[in-house]
Structure 1
């Protein structure tokens, strides 16, 4: 496995990204959409593990328009008022529409590195909605989209992913925390209905006992057993869809 730091030209500037590649030829390319704390060693560790399964994994900085920023401690950043305000400004200032536009450049970056389709997406926290919206926006290229503890997947917001269900041709996997105020039961029901009506091949799975953030190793809610369960299901999902 190797990591290469690259710069990706977008319509709004230049996004830094890490590209993680397996030892041999990549089966497919996967965009890993970060959580609210930005690219950091914990996400590198996750990308490395996924690359070890045979995929080329791109981890772009979604907050590049506001760089430099941070770094943030994922265990304490939301408990300290100063860092919380900065994080909320970054998240609020990086819209779904921005990331959807950026995703075209992310996919093209794979081609520039010799990685052709098919493509998958996976997102955590704020990245979960982006992974699903990417599948709706680039349905001719993305064949698998996964979200773990993604927030507001079926909220009242006009850019909430459930609204784009009819455009999704990819298979979808959504792993939900057992208790998560950002994705309550009424939203999971709404998302399930939208995906079913749209004829999407999907799974919504409830990780009972897990809290928002349980998959990410430096998060305060990290749960080792729950994270391993997530890895088992994610790798099986990509194995079935991406090879």
Structure 2
């Protein structure tokens, strides 16, 4: 496990990223897209697990323009509120450009091989946007927020996308879940998986939000999805 510095697309700066490498030659690369809590221990553990599965995993610090290096614990109320405040201040279009820069960096590192992404919460939303706006080979979003407002971009999704939906998600109410299904179920490149009774954050690696059985089920589906589409 190391840290990397990735240059921006337009050359106006650079940002840090956490990198986990497999023991041997990477089978592909996966960009891990943070929640509103930064590249915290849970996100780094996601990277480590992907490396154990043979992938080069890289988690860019997408909040570098507002609070570089921030790491928050969602189980601490003050830190949860701080994360939600950062969400409101975050430039999502700039974030997608930083993800694109990370994709380019990762693709170079795996010598032109395939690159996927997986994101959580805000990162799930950004994974959807990445699928629609970049050349990513496969994308996964967990409990993505606000997808109903991005459905006009769905026809630009050229490569496989998997979305995990928490049935009792307080940030993604039933009407939004219904809109996601109505807008995306007929797209051959998109798969939606529902987890009835689960709340937002059920697949976090650490903390009170984790629901082990549902997390293991979702993670197994993600693992199979990447094996099929990345190798």
Q: Distance in 2 between matches of 1:18 and 1:70?
A: 13
Q: Shift of residue 4 of structure 1?
A: 2.0
Q: Distance in 2 between matches of 1:173 and 1:69?
A: 29
Paired residue for 2:195, among 179, 187, 207?
Answer: 207
Paired residue for 1:127, among 117, 123, 132?
Answer: 123
Residues 187-226 of structure 1 mapped to structure 2, 5 A cutoff: 187-196=176-185, 199-226=187-214
SS at match of 1:211: coil
Q: Distance in 2 between matches of 1:147 and 1:48?
A: 18
Partners of 2:124 and 2:142 within 8 A in 1: yes
Q: Distance in 2 between matches of 1:238 and 1:68?
A: 30
Q: Shift of residue 191 of structure 1?
A: 2.3
CA distance change for structure 1 residues 219 and 149 in 2, over 3 Å: closer, same or farther?
A: farther
Q: What is the RMSD computed on CA atoms of the aligned residues?
A: 1.9
Partner of 1:51: 51
Q: Distance in 1 between matches of 2:19 and 2:69?
A: 21
Q: Shift of residue 69 of structure 1?
A: 5.9
* TM-score, length of structure 2 as denominator length: 0.91
Unaligned ranges ≥5, structure 1:
none
SS at match of 2:158: coil
Q: Distance in 2 between matches of 1:239 and 1:41?
A: 25
Q: Distance in 1 between matches of 2:178 and 2:160?
A: 18
Paired residue for 2:159, among 167, 170, 173?
Answer: 170
CA distance change for structure 1 residues 84 and 18 in 2, over 3 Å: closer, same or farther?
A: closer
1:206-236, CA deviations, whole angstroms, 9 ceiling, x for partnerless residues?
1122210111122431112222112111101
Q: Shift of residue 177 of structure 1?
A: 1.0
Q: Distance in 1 between matches of 2:71 and 2:51?
A: 25
Partners of 2:28 and 2:110 within 8 A in 1: no
Q: Distance in 1 between matches of 2:141 and 2:58?
A: 16
Partner of 2:82: 86
Is the aligned partner of 1:237 residue 2:225? Answer: yes
Partner of 1:181: 170
1:48-67, CA deviations, whole angstroms, 9 ceiling, x for partnerless residues?
11111121111011100023
Q: Shift of residue 87 of structure 1?
A: 2.2
1:129-155, CA deviations, whole angstroms, 9 ceiling, x for partnerless residues?
1011111111xx312111111111113
Q: Shift of residue 85 of structure 1?
A: 4.7
Partner of 2:142: 148
Q: How many residues matched? A: 229
Q: Shift of residue 88 of structure 1?
A: 2.7
CA distance change for structure 1 residues 164 and 122 in 2, over 3 Å: closer, same or farther?
A: same
